[in-house]
Amino acid sequence: MKLFDVYPLQPIELSYGKGTHVFDTNGNEYLDLYGGHAVISIGHNHPHFNDRISDQLQKIPYYSNSVINKIQVELARELGEQSGYTNHNLFLCNSGAEANDNALKIASFHNKKSRLLAFRNSFHGRTSRTLSVTDNPKYRSPMDEYSNVTFLDLNDTRAVKEELSKGDVCAVIIEGIQGVGGINIPENSFLKSLRQLCTDYDTVLILDEIQSGYGRTGKFFAHQYAGIEADIVTVAKGMGNGFPIAGVLISPKVEAFYGMLGTTFGGNHLASAAGLAVLEVLKEEELIPHAARVGNAWMDDLLSLSGVRAVRGKGLMIGIELYEPIKEIRKKLLEKHKILTGVATNPYILRLLPPLSLQESEAERFISCFEDVL
């Protein structure tokens, strides 16, 4: 059997990772400014993360959600405390798409409506329902076309109001910062209006923080820059530092009932131990304020480079827009300077999503290498 060929691959095979670096099978060392797609939050091969997982592996790695699991309870408590969402409830699952799929379903269970609002350039996952709110027709099969979704421009408060005032909108789903779409930041004033409008029209506000959450932007969640609270927040990626785990943070006003949601693997003992280890390291190493400090200074330096058209982002979620497509530049960064970077659907944007432990010296190294390839 061969692999189903859906991924264009970079020509390297990795054998080892440590902190902000990965090593290939030929012994080459790479600076990882991609973080395996914003997943590596606390760094590769973190000793505390490894110890917690190994320890749990020796005890009981898995049992289903039919028994008491105190690690889940502890994870929920710690996540509530660190994120400020202390009163929300947590449902654990396995991937970002699954978290968003559940979030949409929870919203519809709650207010019994079914129409959805999403935004142009959005990405919310690859399940059929999450594709319906993802603004990329290329990803959708005929089966994934739903008639009850309306796409609006980001930051267009007037259009949101017009749609919500019809009274039939179940939920609005929005990324804290659009990642795949090219690092597009919703304005604080827009998020504030969105919050108010959702309250006014009995619409559930879902913040997809799968890429922009878990401290990446220098706050636990990107939408917290706007000082708002969402009804539902979805998390994945950095939550497990590579271990598959995701979650849905649900407002206490949503009532749960047995049978409403379910999953075989979600929140199992090993996954919960991994999730808890990540939160412990984020706190212990103060990685969130670190990400804000390093990332914001880095963006100023990046903006001063000639050849750079714009720099957008917050903390360590950064998009660099060039005057030319980034393909060749990205290739040279990899081949000549051994630096891994990310792309976006916009071919002019290079995405930087490094581990939150990135050091200033590493950010500076990128500046000189980037200047060289530019």
Ligand X SMILES: Cc1ncc(COP(=O)(O)O)c(C=O)c1O
Interface contacts to ligand X, rule CB under 6 A: 95-97, 100, 123-125, 175, 179-180, 208, 210-211, 236
Between 41 and 370, CB nearer to ligand X: 41
Separation between Cα atoms, residue 335 and residue 331, nearest integer Å: 6
Q: How far is the CB of 180 from ligand X (least distance, A)?
A: 5
Whole-angstrom distance, CA of residue 343 vs CA of residue 322: 12
Comparing CB distances to ligand X, the nearer of 43 and 213 is 213
Whose structure tokens read 């189903």?
Answer: 4
Count of CB atoms situated within 10 Å of the CB of 202? 14
Q: Which is nearer to ligand X, 46 or 124 (CB)?
A: 124
| Closest distance of CB 125 from ligand X, Å | 4
- Report the nearest approach of ligand X to the CB of residue 200 (Å): 26
Number of H helices, E strands in the chain: 11, 15
- CA angle at residue 152 from 133 to 316, to 5 degrees? 70
The span from the CA of 50 to the CA of 278, in Å, is 10
What is the CA angle 363-241-63, rounded to 5?
175
Main-chain phi, psi angles of 184, to 5 degrees = -110, 125
- Please identify, using beta-carbon distances, which residue of 72 and 211 lies nearer to ligand X: 211
Q: Residue 201 or 278: which CB sits closer to ligand X?
A: 278
Task: Please state, in angstroms and rounded to a whole number, the distance separating the CA atoms of residues 249 and 231.
Answer: 8
Phi, psi angles (nearest 5°) of residue 193: -65, -40
Residue closer to ligand X by CB (options 175, 362) is 175
Task: State the minimum distance, in angstroms, from the CB of residue 25 to ligand X.
Answer: 26
Query: 135 or 362, CB closer to ligand X?
Result: 135
Q: Are strands 21-24 and 14-18 parallel, antiparallel or unpaired?
A: antiparallel
Please, what is the minimum distance in Å from the beta carbon of residue 346 to ligand X? 15
CB of 26 to ligand X, least distance (A): 29
Using an 8 Å Cβ cutoff, are 165 and 159 in contact? no
Residue nearest ligand X, CB atom distance? 96
Q: In whole angstroms, how close is the CB of 208 to ligand X at the nearest point?
A: 5
